[in-house]
Structure 1
Amino acid sequence: MAWSALEGAWFSRRANPWPTTAGEAEAVQEQLRPLVDLTDPGPPTVDFIAGLDVGYAPDSDEVTGAVVVLDNTLQVVDHATSREKAKFPYIPGLFAFRELPPLLTALGRLTVIPDLLICDGYGLAHPRRFGLACHLGVLTGLPTIGVAKTAFVGTHADPAPTRGSWTPITLDHDTVGRALRTRDHVKPVFVSQGHRISLDNACAHVLHVTPAYRLPEPIRLADRLSRTDPPA
């Protein structure tokens, strides 16, 4: 991927009117959903993997998008943030319209181009099958995975207690993700495809970047950065 893809997403977001109502936002999701690629298996290995998260300022409408890039040894090689006023109300299923603006700006500030994005949120495991990870993947063109701390839609059984165990998340008889155990006897995380990656490959990457904690290291570090970094 070249910088032009990220720059295109950045300019497209500013050139086109940003949705301000639930109806407008849902229409955008329906328009972009056919662009999601769920057949590309994605890269089996990557050199640079980015974690993305958004922090919300207390008693304020400011949001901070944070991106942390790690190499394949899980060392931090780059990071960036963007703090701005939220451009969309807080509506479940439409969080992407609050979180995408600062995340796209933060991505555009990186000096290292990531090969894979892991965002704190959902991808296919979404009421309209188009969560933040799908939206972010379509806009950037990058393979993207959604990893959430809590279940959102569908049903799943509790996976076995050992690391690497998983059970499918099903919605309307379709598999939309997995409840994945990243540590023995610890609550699972909820993995779903975003764009240009298979579910098997997504789970393999998540386990690779989760050596010590419940959450993937890129997301854990992005979460910390989003809450501690001074205004940009």
Structure 2
Amino acid sequence: MEIVEAPPGWPVNEAEALAVQDELRTRVVLDEPGPQVGTGPVTGVDVAYDDERDVVAAAAVVLDAATLTVVEEATAIGRVTFPYVPGLLAFRELPTVLAALASLTSDPGLVVCDGYGRAHPRRFGLASHLGVLTGLPVLGVAKNPFVFTYAEPGQSRGDFAALVADDGEEVGRALRTQHGVKPVFVSAGHRVTLESACAHALHLARDFRVPESTRRADALCRRALREVSGRA
């Protein structure tokens, strides 16, 4: 399998990455509702790392949003060329994620990231960055909160509480996707509202805590990483 390298001009340090975030976040669109819930394709993307070899595996899994059945899968393997810096993980992951998405032959539709969009210290997490670069509607569903405060949501499926920034902005929601199970953390990325992002996340998490799109992409990227590590 071809190893994906970062494109020419891709940031290689924190200062360069922060400048890119400052530039691109002005292009985020948050006043479009996004696709109708339960219709069309929805694509989960996720990555897995081999830190010893500085290798990252990315997966993109397209589901039929109505049935949550798999339509298409794609993977890519890349080199990690950016250091680990909280808040800048997109610069480690996106070249390989973009390669996986580019390998798809079908329309990805709505994209769901295992990470953040607006719920980010600079309001430009992975989901927003991916959305701006591709033009696709993207939302983020994270397993853990980042730096924002929230009240514990109710115990029923669909209950939520706001993720609140220091300035009082609601940047995301802690969403209970299964009764009595700890919440996930949803934020809008690009071309989708927070309300719509939560509705999509709840629909996709029909049987489990995390969206089916994320579950499938997580399993696929881990499998791809095991295969490439076994050949190394």
| TM-score when normalising by structure 2 | 0.92
1:158 aligns with 2:173: no
**1:154: Cα distance to partner?**
1.3
The letter for the 1-side match of 2:223 is: T
The letter for the 2-side match of 1:51 is: G
The letter for the 2-side match of 1:31 is: E
Q: Gapped runs of 5+ residues in structure 1?
A: 1-9
The letter for the 2-side match of 1:155 is: T
In structure 2, the residue matched to 1:59 is 52
Match of 1:83 among 77, 85, 90: 77
Distance across 1 between alignment mates of 2:50 and 2:11: 22
**1:60: Cα distance to partner?**
2.3
CA RMSD of aligned residues (A): 1.4
1:127-167 deviation digits (Å, cap 9, x = unpaired): 10000000000011111000100000211001000000000
**Secondary structure of the equivalent of 1:52?**
strand
Distance across 2 between alignment mates of 1:53 and 1:152: 18
Distance across 2 between alignment mates of 1:71 and 1:173: 37
Match of 1:17 among 2, 9, 24: 9
**Secondary structure of the equivalent of 1:167?**
strand
In structure 1, the residue matched to 2:101 is 107
In structure 1, the residue matched to 2:19 is 27
The letter for the 2-side match of 1:228 is: R
Match of 1:206 among 172, 192, 201: 201
- Greater Cα shift, 222-231 or 113-122: 222-231
The letter for the 2-side match of 1:61 is: D
Distance across 2 between alignment mates of 1:127 and 1:82: 29
**Secondary structure of the equivalent of 1:194?**
strand
Distance across 2 between alignment mates of 1:160 and 1:102: 37
In structure 2, the residue matched to 1:197 is 192
Matched residue count? 220
1:15-64 deviation digits (Å, cap 9, x = unpaired): x4010110100100000001000111112243100001010115221001
In structure 1, the residue matched to 2:139 is 145
In structure 1, the residue matched to 2:41 is 48
**Secondary structure of the equivalent of 2:218?**
helix
Q: Gapped runs of 5+ residues in structure 2?
A: none
Match of 2:171 among 176, 181, 188: 176
**Secondary structure of the equivalent of 1:206?**
helix
| TM-score when normalising by structure 1 | 0.92
1:100-120 deviation digits (Å, cap 9, x = unpaired): 011000000001111100000
- Greater Cα shift, 104-113 or 50-59: 50-59
Distance across 2 between alignment mates of 1:163 and 1:128: 30
- Greater Cα shift, 179-188 or 42-51: 42-51
Distance across 1 between alignment mates of 2:157 and 2:50: 34
Distance across 2 between alignment mates of 1:113 and 1:30: 29
